[in-house]
Amino acid sequence: MTSIDTKPAAAWAPSHGKGVAIALGIAGAWSFTGLIFRSIEEAGSWETIFYRSIGVSFGVSLAVLLRHRGGTWQACRKIGRPGITAALCLCGGSLLFLHALHFTTIANITFVLAVSPFIAAALAWLLLRETVTLRTWVAAAMALSGVGIMVFDELALGDATGIFMALGTATLMAGYAVSVRLGRNVDMTPAIALSGILAVLGSVLIISDFSISWHDLVLCLLQGAVISAACNSLFAYAARAVPAAELMLLGLIETVLAPTWVWLAIGEVPSLATVIGGAIILVAVIGHAYSTIWLPSRLVRAGPKPM
């Protein structure tokens, strides 16, 4: 049986505007992760990583198999060094994030992760010579200020270990974005499956008791096999057209939506600072998306005025 992927890689690339819209949708879907993990009752961090990563591996591997069929092994080999780097960065970033929670506050982690667009911009310029538009710089700075307002009351001094872990998470996730950009001419989805497999193997070496309730198992598999698998696969697709720094910027909208879902579902009322900071982030990200998608399309439809 032969592969069903008969189109060249470039034919699968979205337009820049479509890539931005996909990135916004990814951030919206990913924002439910906080609510899912808050609903886990008994499972520890390593158990959560293990079963979530099984879900990621299974969900993405199934998607790759259905798309490439007989050409699956060839598709996996094509990811090359960029794909292996992306898998290592995604796996390492997820592990560091979950462990940073044990050493510092959510506020510290959130604030540090907000610098990821700037790290991505630096890495993309060094490795890809990818320039960043002025509007992206302005929107990223505005979003960073919004995150700062959101977490200002909760920022804690010290907690150096957790802060360094959060900075490592931001760097690795920026590296993941740059890596999938570097391999944008091939299907990078197998790299996501590889990241899940690496996380499973790493967890096996640590976990002594694999028991987990059905409730927590369903939540872990839901986050891994559905949300994480779909979002990371679409992220790799969007990266074919959207620069790394812009991808990380658009992802910051998750910072606004995540506490919103927790508030609606659990009743955790956000603080005034969270509302104000979230509004600034929304203006920055949506304003950037508007200038990228809808404004150019309106200008094109309007066309030049008759003389």
Query: Residue 225 in 3-state DSSP?
Result: helix
| Pairwise CA distance, residues 301 & 58, whole Å | 44
Structure tokens at 192: 């996501």
What was the pLDDT predicted at 7?
Answer: 47
Q: How far is CA 38 from the centre of its chain?
A: 19
| Pairwise CA distance, residues 125 & 138, whole Å | 17
Helices (H), 69-206: 72-78, 80-100, 106-113, 116-128, 134-151, 160-182, 189-204
| Pairwise CA distance, residues 243 & 141, whole Å | 17
What was the pLDDT predicted at 190?
Answer: 93
What was the pLDDT predicted at 51?
Answer: 93
Its pTM stands at 0.81
pLDDT digits (tens, 9 = 90+) for 118-151: 999 999 998 888 888 888 889 999 988 888 887 7
Q: Assess contact for 73 and 3: CB atoms under 8 A.
A: no
What was the pLDDT predicted at 12?
Answer: 64
Angle at 285 between CA 284 and CA 287, to 5 degrees: 65
Query: Residue 157 in 3-state DSSP?
Result: coil
Please list, in sequence order, all residues whose beta carbon lies within 8 angstroms of the beta carbon of residue 63, skipping any fewer than 6 positions away.
189, 229, 233
What was the pLDDT predicted at 157?
Answer: 60
Segments of the chain scoring below 70 in pLDDT: 1-12, 105, 107, 153-159, 293-307
| Pairwise CA distance, residues 173 & 92, whole Å | 9
Q: 165 burial class (0-12, 13-18, 19+ CB within 10 angstroms)?
A: buried
pLDDT digits (tens, 9 = 90+) for 198-253: 999 988 888 888 889 999 999 999 989 889 888 988 998 898 888 888 999 988 88
| Pairwise CA distance, residues 147 & 110, whole Å | 7
Residue with tokens 């798309």: 67
